[in-house]
Amino acid sequence: MAFHLHIENFRCLRKVDLDLGGVCVLIGPNGSGKSTFVRALQFMSDVLSPGPVEAFENAGGGGMLQNFSSDERILLRASQDDVMWEVLPRPKGIGVQLPMEERFSIGGKTVIEQLSNSATFRFGEKAFASDVRLSLYQAAVAVFGKGEDEPISLLPSPFFVTRLQSQSYFEPDILAIRQSGSPVGRDTRLNSHGKNVFTVLRNWKAGNRIHEERFSFVREGLRRAFPDLFDALDFESAGQIVTARFYMPGNGSPIPFHLAPTGLIAGLLHLTAVASTGTASTVMIDEFENSLHPHAIRVLIDYIRERAAKMDLTVLLASHSPVVLDQFRDCPAQAIVMDPSNQPTPLDKLEDPNWLAQFSLGDLYAHENIGAAKSAP
Amino acid sequence: MKRVQLIVTGEMEKAALHSSLGRLFPDAEFLAPSFNNSFTSSRLTAASPQPPRHGIPTKPNVNKLARELIADVEPGSSRAGQLDLVLVVEDLELCNHDQPGTVTERFRRAVREELDARNFNGGSRRKVEEKLRTRCSFHLFSPMTDAYFFGEDAALARAKAKRPNRFQAEVTDIELFQVADPDYQSVADGLRPWARASRERHPKHYLGFLCTPSDDLLSERNDVQHYRETKQGKAALEVLDWRAVLARPRQAQFARAMIDDIAAALAHENPFPGQCAPETKRRDNGLLRNL
């Protein structure tokens, strides 16, 4: 199910008004804001959990959040049906003013609200002590969970907490994964650089049975995307390091992952990122196509679509690949174009779908007919 | 052994059409199909689409298909002397179901445009035109490949249909697919991927419905696809019983025209004689074997 996103003045994003749902691809020239768009979603996710302080740390501080050409307020808002959540960070020097302005509303009526720099947040007519380390939702849950007289069930539907509980990774450190494996831990979610991938997979396989399905999803996806290369994988530990070995079809000898083709590791990371998320959540993958053969790209997107449909996931792929874009020929509304003014717009709103259907979307992108830089021919 | 190259526009056809047709003509070699994007997924007009407003000129899919067909027979091509027959196989699609002539005309014009664009010298052009006329064809599946599965009960089973099929091939031509199934029609638009307007005429959507388990039918909206062309569709197509599909001589005229054309090119008797679609049946002195 799609949710609506409204962003103003966040870094290079002057204004975003967009419905997101299912598997989407984000295209546009370098510097047009694709990665910033992904990071805006990550920032919203981080505010909700682990909390505002970590959100700013992960975003590199508050000083660079403001749009470069505007000093108007920064606003990040998500809504679904009649429920809305918004956060308005105010940079202060290189930091940010805490607590941040934040509110939930239902049907246009504010239910919980935290005003900037206020020591309390309001739920209806009542005021409760704020905690700058917590998001408004976390603070409300903490207060009502302690037996305050407002029942926790009155909180707005926590769809954001799942929908925006995003799993993303940027610039996965494949060299480090090859050389050093993953640090031992109890992780069951891929971190943003993918460094803990082997630990996560091992914990899914060997740990709680609720994770078995995630491991199976990753293994099956790799079999489909790399049919001549991959059949199975297992794990090895040495000291504080976990690493893995994979088995080729029909070959009994394992091959250490530090010898694996880069595309196989990229596919492993993509699938682990998708499997890390729960029902109705969001996954963001930057530069999806890196190191992947066109066959693997096609198979992985198709396979991820199956899971997105089954689990109501939103999967956002930032890409420059014509091969990736061609996988959206039947659904141009799911292809989001960053135009030269840094405004993301669904492709079917920029061009007549009947016209688009007569071309390869990948060709149109490669030839700078869509998603081109300002100086395109 | 004669060699046949298929150029297709669907993943299912890419995966299985050569196996399917190869079973009909076991003494010929059907090579793995090459894939190009479809040009019939939107309503076509006689005019070519407007070129992009900016950027580097981009060819429409129909021209890319035509270009690939020419490339398979032009002098210097590594495969030019090795192929006895090259078939472009495209879906007519519901949006063009009433105008197959517009589709074939669009393709014919694209072949001419691409011939002109190649700037062959006189001798080469004549050779290419001769090969196009004798070795190349353009065929349509109507309205789409999945329709033919309704001509063979076992094909629906291979596609993992779980519900009784209400389409009656003995009453309605599969190429004019139309089904009256109250359960299929009762689901509100948008609740399932196949629950769309005009679904009663859409064989792929009906297959999607037939493959949906009962316990998944009436729950809240979801986008899970129980019928996937590259899996269930491939299983249905690769061993499709064309004898059952083409059992009625006046029906399935587009598919029959294709089989008739292949049989003639391979010097076989047409295994399923009957009426062929006038738009794609064999003819003399055309641009292609059948256009």
Residue A361 pLDDT class (50, 70, 90 cuts): very high
- In sequence order, the 6+-apart residues with CB closer than 8 A to the CB of B95 are B40, B41, B42, B43
Which of B49, B59, B224 lies at the smallest CB-CB distance from A310? B224
Residues of B within 8 A of A22 (CB-CB) are 223
Task: Calculate how close chain B gets to A79, using CA atoms only, in Å.
Answer: 19
At residue A98, the pLDDT reads 87
Provide the terminal-to-terminal Cα distance of chain B, rounded to the nearest Å. Answer: 26
Task: Check whether A366 has a pLDDT greater than 80.
Answer: yes
At residue A263, the pLDDT reads 96
- Residue contact B54–A364, C-beta within 8 A: no
Which chain B residue has its CA at the smallest distance from A355's CA?
Answer: B49
Which chain A residue has its CA at the smallest distance from B49's CA?
Answer: A355
At residue A374, the pLDDT reads 72
The residue assigned the tokens 């959100």 is: A55
Residue B215 pLDDT class (50, 70, 90 cuts): confident
Report the alpha-carbon distance of residue B77 to residue B67 in Å, rounded.
12
Which of A326, A359, A369 would best serve as a mutation to test chain B binding (most B beta carbons within 10 A)? Answer: A359
Which of A312, A359, A369 lies at the smallest CB-CB distance from B54? A369
Report the alpha-carbon distance of residue B99 to residue B186 in Å, rounded.
30
At residue B125, the pLDDT reads 92
Which of B37, B63, B222, B232 would best serve as a mutation to test chain A binding (most A beta carbons within 10 A)? Answer: B37
- Residue contact B223–A309, C-beta within 8 A: yes
Contact indicator for A252, A281 with CB cutoff of 8 Å: no
- How deeply is B47 buried, as exposed, middle or buried, from its count of CB atoms within 10 A (0-12, 13-18, 19+)? exposed
- Residue contact B64–A360, C-beta within 8 A: yes
Residue B52 pLDDT class (50, 70, 90 cuts): very high
Question: What percent of chain B stands above pLDDT 70?
Answer: 98
At residue A144, the pLDDT reads 73
- Residue contact A367–B54, C-beta within 8 A: no
- In sequence order, the 6+-apart residues with CB closer than 8 A to the CB of B36 are B7, B8, B9, B61, B64, B65, B68
Report the alpha-carbon distance of residue A293 to residue A116 in Å, rounded.
49
- Residue contact A22–B223, C-beta within 8 A: yes
- Residue contact A369–B56, C-beta within 8 A: yes
Task: Check whether A160 has a pLDDT greater than 80.
Answer: no
A60-113 per-position pLDDT tens digit: 887 788 888 888 899 999 998 888 899 999 988 777 888 899 998 888 889 889
Residues of A in CB contact (< 8 Å) with B are 1, 22, 302, 306, 308-310, 312, 326, 329-330, 353-355, 357-360, 363-364, 367-370, 372, 376-377
At residue A279, the pLDDT reads 85
A247-291 per-position pLDDT tens digit: 999 878 999 999 999 999 999 999 999 999 888 888 889 889 999
Least confident of A188-197, B25-34, B91-100: A188-197
Give the Cα-Cα-Cα angle A213, A249, A196 (nearest 5 degrees).
Answer: 45
Task: Calculate how close chain A gets to B129, using CA atoms only, in Å.
Answer: 26
- Residue contact A357–B42, C-beta within 8 A: yes
Task: Report chain B's mean pLDDT, rounded to a whole number.
Answer: 94
Q: Number of Cβ pairs closer than 8 Å across A and B? A: 72
- How deeply is B214 buried, as exposed, middle or buried, from its count of CB atoms within 10 A (0-12, 13-18, 19+)? exposed
- Residue contact B62–A358, C-beta within 8 A: yes
At residue A341, the pLDDT reads 74
Task: Report chain A's mean pLDDT, rounded to a whole number.
Answer: 88
Which of A22, A358, A370 lies at the smallest CB-CB distance from B49? A358
Residue A197 pLDDT class (50, 70, 90 cuts): very high
- Residue contact A368–B55, C-beta within 8 A: yes
- Residue contact A357–B222, C-beta within 8 A: no
- Residue contact A358–B52, C-beta within 8 A: no
Cis peptide upstream of residue A50 (ω within 30 degrees of 0): yes
At residue A280, the pLDDT reads 83
Residues of B within 8 A of A369 (CB-CB) are 52-56, 58
Task: Check whether A132 has a pLDDT greater than 90.
Answer: no
Which chain B residue has its CA at the smallest distance from A21's CA?
Answer: B223
Residue A302 pLDDT class (50, 70, 90 cuts): very high
Q: How far lies A133's CA from each of A41, A55, A99, A279, B15, in Å?
A: 19, 10, 8, 27, 55
- Residue contact B54–A359, C-beta within 8 A: no
- Asked if ipTM goes beyond 0.90, one says no
Task: Calculate how close chain A gets to B77, using CA atoms only, in Å.
Answer: 23
Task: Check whether A201 has a pLDDT greater than 60.
Answer: yes
- Residue contact B223–A360, C-beta within 8 A: no
The 8-class DSSP code of residue B232 comes to I
Which of B42, B55, B230 lies at the smallest CB-CB distance from A376? B55
Residue B3 pLDDT class (50, 70, 90 cuts): very high
Report the alpha-carbon distance of residue A202 to residue A266 in Å, rounded.
17
Report the alpha-carbon distance of residue A363 to residue A356 in Å, rounded.
11
Beta-ladder partners of A282: A314
B57-82 per-position pLDDT tens digit: 999 999 999 999 999 998 777 776 78
Q: What's the average model confidence in pLDDT over B179-198?
A: 91
Q: Which two tokens stand for residue A172?
A: 């996965």
At residue A62, the pLDDT reads 77
Residues of B within 8 A of A330 (CB-CB) are 41
A301/B123: higher pLDDT: A301
At residue B71, the pLDDT reads 93
A328-359 per-position pLDDT tens digit: 999 999 999 997 677 899 999 999 999 999 99
A160: nearest Cα among A344, A296, A4, A348:
A4
Task: Check whether A157 has a pLDDT greater than 70.
Answer: no
Report the alpha-carbon distance of residue A117 to residue A140 in Å, rounded.
17
At residue A80, the pLDDT reads 85
- Residue contact B37–A360, C-beta within 8 A: yes
- Residue contact A368–B41, C-beta within 8 A: no
- Residue contact B41–A367, C-beta within 8 A: no
Q: For the beta carbon of residue A126, count every other beta carbon within 10 angstroms.
A: 12
Q: Where are the beta strands (DSSP E) in chain A?
A: 3-10, 13-20, 22-27, 75-80, 83-88, 91-92, 95-96, 101-106, 109-114, 120-123, 126-129, 167-169, 182-183, 232-238, 241-247, 255-256, 282-286, 314-318, 335-338, 344-346
Report the alpha-carbon distance of residue B194 to residue B206 in Å, rounded.
7
At residue A321, the pLDDT reads 96
Task: Check whether A47 has a pLDDT greater than 70.
Answer: yes
Task: Calculate how close chain B gets to A323, using CA atoms only, in Å.
Answer: 12
- Exposure letters B134-151 (e unless 16+ CB within 10 A, then b): ebbbbbbbbbbbbbbbbb
At residue A170, the pLDDT reads 67
Q: What's the average model confidence in pLDDT over B133-147?
A: 98
Residue B153 pLDDT class (50, 70, 90 cuts): very high
Task: Calculate how close chain A gets to B60, using CA atoms only, in Å.
Answer: 5
Question: What percent of chain A stands above pLDDT 70?
Answer: 92
- Residue contact A354–B43, C-beta within 8 A: yes
φ/ψ of B257, rounded to 5, equals -60, -35
Question: What percent of chain A stands above pLDDT 90?
Answer: 54
Residue B109 pLDDT class (50, 70, 90 cuts): very high
A20/A172: higher pLDDT: A20
Estimate to the nearest angstrom the gap between the alpha carbon of B123 and the chain centroid.
33
